[in-house]
Amino acid sequence: MSRVDFYVLSDPSPDAVWRCTCRLIEKAVDLGSRVYVQLARSSEGARLDDLLWTFSDRSFLAHERWDGTSEPHPLVKVLLGEGPGPRSHRQLLVNFSGAVPDDLESYARIAEIVDTDPDRKRLSRERYKQYRDRGCTLETHNV
């Protein structure tokens, strides 16, 4: 069964979620994982797309926007998209879709980033219960 990590942020700044996401992706890629970031809207991808290239002075995270219609390039470790991820990128799902994935069992690990907004926190708690009810291993990290 999948492991689901909830990263609960204390920083209320608008970019806190995206900076945390970049750090999480960087660590996963350094460990050899392929990462899929499932977005709720393509507009979310624009900000993350920019940050993945610029968030660190020492490096950038090569990535690709994926439209779900073609097979991703085999050298690309990080994909951003709006639908379910490709089979090649199932080591880590960073889930911004707002819903528990129907195919969650196919992911080794799922990350949920929880910001300080009360409504989004409430929705994250609901997803936490859904993951628990489906038998996932759950971890919470206060960052």
- Predicted confidence band at 62 (pLDDT cuts at 50, 70, 90)? confident
The C-alpha atoms of residue 58 and residue 54 are separated, in whole angstroms, by 9
* 64 pLDDT higher than 80: yes
Predicted TM-score (pTM) of the model is 0.94
Residue carrying the six token digits 């929880």: 114
Tell me the per-residue pLDDT of 80-108, one tens digit each, with 9 for 90 and over. Answer: 999 899 999 999 999 999 999 999 999 99
CATH architecture of 3-142: 3-Layer(aba) Sandwich (3.40)
